[in-house]
Amino acid sequence: MPAQAVVIGVDSSTQSAKAVFADAATGRTLAVGRAAHEVTGAAGARESDPEGWWRALCEAVARGLKESGVRPSAVTGIAVAGQQHGLVVLDARGRPVRPALLWNDTRAAPQAAALARALPGGAREWAERTGSAPVAALTAAKWRWLTEREPRAAAAAAAVRLPHDYLTEKLSGVAATDPGDASGTGWYATATGRYDPEILGLIGLDARLLPGVAPTGGTRIGSLLPAAAGALGLPAGIAVAAGTGDNMAAAVGLGLGGTGLLDHPVLSLGTSGTVYAATRARPATPALSGFAATDGTYLPLACTLNCTLAVDRIAALLGLGRDTAEAGREIVLLPYLDGERTPDLPGAAGLLTGLRHTTTRQQILGAAYEGAVVTVLRALDEVLTACGLDPAAPGPAARPLRLIGGGARGRSWVETVRRLSGRPLLIPADADLTALGAAALAAAAASTTDPVTVARAWSTFAPPPVELPATDRDTETWERVSSAVDALTREKRDPGTGAG
């Protein structure tokens, strides 16, 4: 009987590292190692020490090895999926010049607005070139912020990386990224598949500081270095994949793209709320992040800053458990506690209206769920339009909504999405789709197989998703909350002055 081959997929997220050990033949999860890392900052700032990501990755792998009982010699490949957009600036020795600016750091909102005006065609031209219009999350806006606010740190840069690039380089010694994560920078042109020299000049970034772009995230870009192997307890020389961004890896884990499912919408409920679908059409609308997928297709995506953490914060303020929520009725609560990205309101604060003497805490919490869900479902309509679909067309049951992320395990989240979307839901049995997608990238790198093909083959061994039928859509709540979002957007103030 042949020896079992094992691959490791790492999800390095905003707050933690997760390492999934998967059977390379079936995708069966053998163990999951986890380790936290720190996020610091207030008043719009969100930063992390990249070396903390590496320590968390090593700890997660060590825990996974111990839990699984897998012999290190059985591991054949590793890949990293990382939080998108983060700006990692390294010195000549490969050490961070300063803490990384994370995707949800909103301080670069003024720089993003200035960049949007800097091209003759404005935001539309940015979207046509790079897939996305500048917002505070994009790495290009963060680099511009750094050059203006911390010029000495920018001048000390010998390399500029994304979070997953940084970790992949620690593993392999190779400076590499992939089209998916690169498409979230603002300086990679999805129209040409290369870095855009005019945009690099516009933001003052030397292309020589950037990593090369591998053809796909499943491309083998190198082998595990002896030093990294020692830190991880793995054999040197195993395959290291190019890796990708977290959303792109989750799409692979779902089998989206390539010859797999296309135009099937996904709603991910995590620190942020994201909606996306794989398509062969290259999106170019300022309303979306027109990302490239990691396999040659595209992944139009919209992201909200405030999702599970924001609603959990409301629950904590009210002294309630997460699943004690009731329908908000006439209350509207927009939980924009960290500003907002979609709609583009980086200076916004939370908004609460419609209180009565009879209002209960449970209704206020329910209104927080409704505000978050309506915000992300409105973004879903934009994604479906980018895929050439009419979100208002009859028969939404034809396209069920795939619900993933930590919120997909919460009753209140699931029922609120179901009530406000009017769509059937599919909830995959595997809760670690980003890490599983990264494992498929690792398997592809170790075997020169297409990662989506790997993931779809694995799905035949996995338990079927939970299927929930559609319910009548709660149009009254939808319209009430949507009106509040529209009103807040119309009253948008200059970034940093606050709104609400």
pLDDT value of residue 226: 98
pLDDT digits (tens, 9 = 90+) for 425-460: 999 988 789 999 999 999 999 998 899 999 999 988
Give the active site residues.
Answer: 246
Q: Which residues 6+ apart lie within 8 Å of 216 measured at CB?
A: 178, 179, 242, 294, 295, 296, 444, 451
* pLDDT beneath 50, residues of the chain: 1, 396-397, 494-500
With helix as H, strand as E and coil as C, how does the chain read? CCCCCEEEEEEECCCEEEEEEEECCCCCEEEEEEEECCCECCCCCCEECHHHHHHHHHHHHHHHHHHHCCCHHHEEEEEEEECCCCEEEECCCCCECCCEECCCCCCCHHHHHHHHHHCCCHHHHHHHHHCECCCCCCHHHHHHHHHHHCHHHHHCCCEEECHHHHHHHHHHCCCEECHHHHCCCCCEECCCCEECHHHHHHHCCCHHHCCEECCCCCCEEEECCHHHHHHHCCCCCCEEECCEEHHHHHHHHCCECCCCECCCCEEEECCCEEEECCECCCCCCCCCEEEECCCCCEEEEEEECCCHHHHHHHHHHHCCCHHHCCCCCCCEEECCECEECCCCECCECCEEECCCCCCCHHHHHHHHHHHHHHHHHHHHHHHHHHCCCCCCCCCHHHCCEEEECHHHHCHHHHHHHHHHHCCCEEECCCCCHHHHHHHHHHHHHHHCCCHHHHHHHHHCCCCCCEEECCCCCCHHHHHHHHHHHHHHHHCCCCCCCCEC
pLDDT value of residue 260: 63
Domains of the chain: 6-252 (3.30.420.40), 261-427+470-490 (3.30.420.40)
pLDDT digits (tens, 9 = 90+) for 227-253: 999 999 999 999 999 999 999 999 999
pLDDT value of residue 116: 95
pLDDT value of residue 283: 83
pTM exceeds 0.85 for this model? yes
